[in-house]
Amino acid sequence: MRGQQPIGGAIYVATTNDEVVWERAIDVLHEFNFEIERENRLAKVIRTAPKVGASIFEPWHKDAVGFENRIEGTLQSVRRIVEVSFQLDDQGRGYVVSVAAYKEIEDLPGVAANSPGAATFQESMPLSVDLDPVVGQTSPSLWIPVGRDPLLEQTLLAKLRAAYSY
């Protein structure tokens, strides 16, 4: 899914100054508190690091657009990754700026998540003791891709359109 050209979610910027187009996109991503994971000027792609989604108790975070996304971020761990790509038009007079926002949900590995009733003691499994329960979880989280986030894409495109208009 990632690495492909985004469908829809694009605006046209009538300038040949690639530095302005690039830096204003970075500014908009920073406004949404996304950290840049990778910038590739040859491929003309900016990719953000995964950002944990905001809950209803964090109104200052802008990555969760709409009430449903806020509720989802409150009840389920969500993270988002944004890719912004730039393509020079055929006449060389401007750029097509595309935004793709990918959403993933967390899947915590553990005994209780494997099957119903697995949280009870079983005779066939040895008892494991976690001596550092306060430090954090003992195994890494798994993230399940759930598709694109069109509301975030449209919000980022509107911010980009405003940033390129001045």
Domains and CATH numbers, the chain: 10-109+137-165 (3.30.530.50)
pLDDT of residue 97: 94
pLDDT of residue 23: 95
Asked if pLDDT for residue 120 goes beyond 60, the answer is no
Q: How confident is the model at residue 61 (pLDDT cuts 50, 70, 90)?
A: confident
Provide the terminal-to-terminal Cα distance of the chain, rounded to the nearest Å.
33
What digits encode the pLDDT tens for the residues 135-157? 555 567 789 999 999 999 999 99
pLDDT of residue 62: 83
Burial 83-101 (b: 16+ CB within 10 A, else e): bbbbeeeeeeebbebbbbb
Half-sphere exposure of 8 (CA within 13 A, CB side): 7
What digits encode the pLDDT tens for the residues 45-58? 999 999 998 888 88
Residues 6+ apart with CB under 8 A from 21: 13, 15, 86, 95, 97, 164
Asked if pLDDT for residue 109 goes beyond 90, the answer is no
Q: What does the CA dihedral 57, 60, 62, 63 come to, rounded to 10 degrees? A: -40
Mean pLDDT for the chain overall: 83
